[in-house]
Amino acid sequence: MSVRPSVKVPRHTRTPQSNRKRIDMKAAVFSKFGDPAEVLEVREVPTPEPGPGEVRVRMIASPINPSDTMFVEGRYGVRPTPPAVPGFEGVGVVDKAGPGLMGRFVVGKRVVAINNKGGNWAEYAVIPWKQARPVAADIPDDQAATFFVNPMTAVALTRHVLAVPKGEWLLISAAGSTLGKMIVRLGRRDGFKTLCVVRRSEAKQELIDLGADAVVSSSEGPVPEQVRRITGGDGPRYALDPIGGEAGTAVFRSLGKGGRLVVYGSLTDEPIAVDPRSLITSRTSVEGFWLGYWMAERSIPKALMLFREVATLIREGVLSADVGKSYPLERVGEAAREAAAVGRGGKVLLKIGAGG
């Protein structure tokens, strides 16, 4: 995903050639930043036309990820100028290609639609042809809808960025998230040990059942002390945090000598307190990760291999998403409320078009 500065409904809804009758579609639009449950409304807007190098996707389903809700709240790395349509990933069928040769090869195909600028919470979305990735027929719509953001991040963080060796502890906060559960299953498969942090004691058992090697709850005492009791003397050398603030600080303080913390989310929008002495004498480090930047640095053959790797792991059930409730696009506000609920369970999906 590359990062572009702004998204406007008019950009997505380029008016079709003037001699044709304008055809409208339904889209979830927000006209000001705010709580997605409050500010999103389903409106009729002009159906977008693909430009050069672009294709149009008739959307089938799209998940509600934290990146989408933060986009609507105006606190994501991609900040549109409202009115705008959210939705960074999803599944659909390419129904039209713009000028250029390559897009024609995907017309009629079911694809994973990666939309860097947002716009998939609509009946049709226009994206660059390269970001319409054909998906195998044996991967169902619900899994194809959540194919990219979380599964690719799980692979990137554990196998490439941290490259966690077999037998090592990986400390993960927000471990009950869709992505956290994928990392736990990846740990079982790849042989690293997962030490999970959750904020609610009742969320522990599910992770143990999933195969986590240890689970602690921040509600049961200081996390660094709980972590040390599990790992012994020195703490873990690998850690991941998408929360920031107190929770992220606790993860940083749990690190052992030479430990690396990769921050990949900002659920609280609060800073992590980093003790400079730890950086100097314990050689701990903190770095950030954004999938969009990481993917942009992969070559085309490498990206293709990664997509195949993810498809295989989804089929094996390692990177399949736990899917929760589904809502038609018309009930996007309700869907957003469900997605934000504490302890909500599986990923919330918007079912669009005939699928709704």
Give the nearest distance from C-beta 350 to ligand NAP in angstroms.
14
Q: Residue 321 CB, nearest distance to ligand NAP (Å)?
A: 8
Report how far residue 224's alpha carbon sits from residue 219's, in angstroms, rounded to the nearest whole number: 13
Q: How far is the CB of 227 from ligand NAP (least distance, A)?
A: 16
By CB under 6 A, name the binding residues for ligand NAP.
65-67, 149-150, 153, 174, 176-179, 199-200, 203, 242-243, 247, 264-265, 267-268, 289-291, 342-343, 347
Contact 49, 79 (CB under 8 A): no
**Which is closer to ligand NAP, CB of 231 or CB of 268?**
268
Q: Contact, 117 vs 138, CB < 8 A?
A: no
Nearer to ligand NAP, 271 or 343 (CB): 343
Handedness of CA 90, 95, 100, 104 (dihedral sign): positive
**Peptide bond just before 82 cis, omega within 30 deg:** no
Closest residue to bound ligand NAP by CB: 265
Helix-then-strand count for the chain, H and E: 13, 15
> Of the two residues 24 and 269, which places its CB atom closer to ligand NAP in the complex?
269
Q: Which two tokens stand for residue 3?
A: 């990062």
Q: What span, in angstroms and rounded, lies between the C-alpha atoms of 230 and 214?
A: 8
CB of 93 to ligand NAP, least distance (A): 24
Closer of 47 and 65 to ligand NAP (Cβ): 65
CB count within 10 Å of CB 37 equals 17
On whether the CB atoms of residues 23 and 17 are closer than 8 A, the answer is no
If the CB atoms of residues 219 and 312 are measured against ligand NAP, the closer one turns out to be 219
To the nearest whole angstrom, how small is the minimum distance from the Cβ of residue 16 to ligand NAP? 34
